[in-house]
Amino acid sequence: MIRIWTDGEISGALDRLGRVGTSFAYAPEAAAQRAVSITMPHRLPSYDWPHGLLPIFEMNVPEGALRERLIRSFSKATGSFDDFDLLSIVGRTQLGRIRYSAMDAVLDEATPFQSVDEILRARRDGGLFDHLLDRFARYSGLSGVQPKVLIRDEKKFSAGKARRSSSIRAATHIVKMWDRDEYPELAANEFFCLLAARKAGLDVPVFTLSDAGDALVIERFDIGDRGYLGLEDFCVLNGLGAAQKYAGSYESRLFRRTRDFVDPADQPQALQALYQLFVLNCALRNGDAHLKNFALIYDRVDGPLRLAPVYDLVTTKAYLPNDAMALTLDGSTRWPDAKRLTQLGQLRAGLSPSSIGLIFEETADAMADVWKEAARYFVGCSEPGVGERMKSAWEEGIAEALGRGRALTKKASPSPQEPKPLAKSQAALLELLRTEGGALLGSVSSIAAKLSLPPSTLSGALKALQDRGLISREGRSIRLADRDV
């Protein structure tokens, strides 16, 4: 049996049921606010599920590389291993407000410290991936197929009292990595998709791409000022197991469900944000927008719900040239055109044609803007072909889904006035150049030592800044280019 906690207090117990099922019973004395899900109010009879875990408990069970790693490490000790066993390991450090422990144990969420900066500056192929999985897999109660872990670096947390609190002992960031043989440059792909979401005005948590492009570090958005927020994905909200994440239609499983759960007063805002995100997914050609990639969040289980910030946006067409949508719209997984998307916005999100037109325009502008930076990144990355395929996918998406004839290359010509976000090491080097009057003389290792950077990171920064035309190099001399940066 496993004890279930919500918001740090006892909620009930989960047990096995038959050969492969599970049964959850609330502690009789637990208050209504201890409910594990908005779909499972407190009651005395147990909630029984004949196959695997109830959706709310299955929601954060590791999948993919993380799951394999955990099974490899722990099945030696236990022989066989299923989701119930996995929960008893990673359940004490999970996303959201539910925790799991042995029946006689107290809650202990302590997660080892890991500097975010160290991850951002790690050199390519330096074993980061294996190190993080080895050290953090057991603290990583989060789902998703891509390799990822939860880590703790409270000093790097950006907002909110609880977030800044030095007493945070639990995980604060998600680190997403990628498998070279499967989805090269996936972190950069997601980085630029998330950047487009932010530019288009959507709510996106703080995220950073590592200097080497190996990892994407994202702040948890489920930590509020007074503790953890409730987080329920659309598999849970539809009463479905994770295996059903590609099943059904966007109309009923996403838009109708949002109407079902969000208070009428908050619906216009939630539906508009959901629609905007859906439109962006079509324009980015993200064929993996399944039910676990949308969620609602809340402060209290009996309080109002809102759409979760944006996560997991990827141009999947960069890897799967024929990729279609994850769920159906109008009975088909074919990408919709602008006319069909306009109908969806009017019918399901209650939007006027003019506000829909504005959403299309803002989405196209955001993507064109982001592509300027993406183009620069992909030229010098490990697999430039990914960038080329992303670009064609975005152009196709902008033309078909948004009905805009916007060529990304034309827009992509560099303009000196445009602000260019720089990696930390690049910014540090520019700062040093400025304080030194615009020029530096010395070997890479001596300048790296001045900046407390590994020489390989400095070499990467030098190359990137040269590619951007921000510095020039001649032998051991480095100069600021003759323009304002």
Q: Which two tokens stand for residue 467?
A: 């590619």
Which CB atom, from 93 or from 293, has the smaller least distance to ligand ATP?
A: 293
Q: Which residues of the chain form contacts with Mg ion (CB under 5 A)?
A: 144, 293, 312
Q: Residue 175 pairs with which residues in a beta bridge?
A: 149, 217
In the set 86, 168, 175, 295, which binds ligand ATP (CB under 6 A)?
Answer: 295
| Under rule CB under 6 A, residue 286 binds ligand ATP | no
Binders of ligand ATP in range 93-112 (CB under 6 A): 95
Task: Kindly indicate which of the ranges 72-80, 144-152, 299-307, 330-338 contains the residues binding ligand ATP, using the contact rule CB under 6 A.
Answer: 144-152
The count of residues interacting with ligand ATP (CB under 6 A) is 20
| Under rule CB under 6 A, residue 129 binds ligand ATP | no
Q: Pick what 224 binds: Mg ion, ligand ATP, none; C-beta below 5 to 8 Å, kind-dependent.
A: none
| Under rule CB under 6 A, residue 153 binds ligand ATP | no
Instruction: Report CA Rg, the chain.
Output: 24
Shortest distance, position 65 Cβ to ligand ATP, whole Å: 9
Please, which residues have CB within 8 angstroms of residue 481's CB and are 6 or more apart in sequence? 469, 470, 471, 472
Question: Nearest-CB residue to Mg ion?
Answer: 312
Which CB atom, from 13 or from 145, has the smaller least distance to ligand ATP?
A: 145
Which CB atom, from 62 or from 460, has the smaller least distance to ligand ATP?
A: 62
| Under rule CB under 6 A, residue 144 binds ligand ATP | yes
Question: Nearest-CB residue to ligand ATP?
Answer: 144
| Under rule CB under 6 A, residue 146 binds ligand ATP | yes
Q: Pick what 295 binds: ligand ATP, Mg ion, none; C-beta below 5 to 8 Å, kind-dependent.
A: ligand ATP
| Under rule CB under 6 A, residue 154 binds ligand ATP | no
CA count, 13 A, side-chain hemisphere, 284: 30
In the set 81, 221, 228, 394, which binds ligand ATP (CB under 6 A)?
Answer: 221
Shortest distance, position 386 Cβ to Mg ion, whole Å: 19
In the set 55, 62, 184, 205, which binds ligand ATP (CB under 6 A)?
Answer: 205
Shortest distance, position 233 Cβ to Mg ion, whole Å: 9
| Under rule CB under 6 A, residue 233 binds ligand ATP | yes
Q: How far is 352 from 448, CA to CA, in rounded Å?
A: 55
Task: Kindly indicate which of the ranges 43-51, 141-149, 274-282, 413-421 contains the residues binding ligand ATP, using the contact rule CB under 6 A.
Answer: 141-149
Identify whether the C-beta of residue 236 lies closer than 8 Å to the C-beta of residue 59.
Answer: yes
AA letter at 444:
V
| Under rule CB under 6 A, residue 294 binds ligand ATP | no
Q: Residue 12 pairs with which residues in a beta bridge?
A: 4, 26
Shortest distance, position 314 Cβ to Mg ion, whole Å: 9
Q: Pick what 37 binds: Mg ion, ligand ATP, none; C-beta below 5 to 8 Å, kind-dependent.
A: none
Identify whether the C-beta of residue 130 lies closer than 8 Å to the C-beta of residue 108.
Answer: no
Q: Pick what 191 binds: ligand ATP, Mg ion, none; C-beta below 5 to 8 Å, kind-dependent.
A: none
Shortest distance, position 422 Cβ to ligand ATP, whole Å: 23
Draw the binding track, 254-273, toward ligand ATP (x: CB under 6 A; -: no contact). Answer: --------------------
Q: Pick what 220 binds: ligand ATP, Mg ion, none; C-beta below 5 to 8 Å, kind-dependent.
A: ligand ATP
Q: Which residues bind ligand ATP (CB under 6 A)?
A: 95, 142-146, 148, 174, 205, 218, 220-222, 233, 288, 292-293, 295, 311-312
